[in-house]
Amino acid sequence: MCHANLDTRQAGLPAEGGRNAIPVLYFTEAMGLAMGHKETGKWLGRHVTDPIKLLSNKGLL
């Protein structure tokens, strides 16, 4: 499945505990994040399901 398909079709899933938004990252985004690339925030801001809050809570941003 492609990234966009996984990211946009989450609204149709049943929510467990009121939450069903799971951020989906491209492998290259995860690599850039792991390598400390300075423009990671720019890439992550384009997602339908915002990954920035989760990554910040986990101390990855």
Classify burial at 51, counting beta carbons within 10 Å of its beta carbon; exposed 0-12, middle 13-18, buried 19 or more.
buried
To the nearest whole number, what is the mean pLDDT of the chain? 78
Dist. CA 38–CA 28, nearest whole Å: 14
The reported pLDDT for the residue numbered 34 is: 87
Between the alpha carbon of residue 19 and those of residues 16, 29, 32, 49, 54, the distances in Å are 6, 23, 27, 12, 13
The reported pLDDT for the residue numbered 13 is: 67
The reported pLDDT for the residue numbered 15 is: 63
The reported pLDDT for the residue numbered 11 is: 67
Per-residue pLDDT tens digits for 23-50: 888 888 888 888 888 887 778 888 888 8
